[in-house]
C-alpha cells in the first residue's frame, strides 16, 4: 500500500492526503487556541522576549 501511495504517477492521492492533513492540523490548532485558558494567555503575553529583560520581575516586586 505504501508503495502504491508513493508511486510517481499517483499525484491525486498525494495532493488529497496533504490537503486533508493540512486542514486537520489547522482545525486542531484553532481548537487548541479556542480552548486555551485565559490565565495561560496572559502569562505567555508577559514573558520577556529578551533574556536581559527583567520587567516582569520588577512588576511582581
The span from the CA of 37 to the CA of 28, in Å, is 16
The span from the CA of 23 to the CA of 37, in Å, is 24
Cβ–Cβ under 8 Å, residues 48 and 55: yes
Coil vs helix vs strand at 36: coil
pLDDT in tens, 3-46: 766 666 667 878 889 999 999 999 999 999 999 999 988 898 88
pTM of the model: 0.55
Domain boundaries, the chain: 2-60
Residue 54's pLDDT is: 57
Residue 39's pLDDT is: 92
Q: Give the mean pLDDT of 52-61.
A: 56
Grid coordinates representing 43? 502569562
> 26 Cβ partners below 8 Å, 6+ apart?
none
Which residue in the block uniquely carries the three cell numbers 520577556?
48
Amino acid at each position: 500500500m505504501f508503495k502504491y501511495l508513493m508511486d510517481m504517477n499517483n499525484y491525486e492521492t498525494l495532493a488529497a492526503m496533504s490537503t486533508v492533513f493540512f486542514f486537520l492540523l489547522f482545525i486542531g490548532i484553532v481548537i487548541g487556541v479556542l480552548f486555551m485558558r485565559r490565565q495561560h494567555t496572559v502569562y505567555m503575553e508577559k514573558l520577556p522576549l529578551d533574556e536581559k529583560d527583567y520587567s516582569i520581575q520588577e512588576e511582581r516586586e
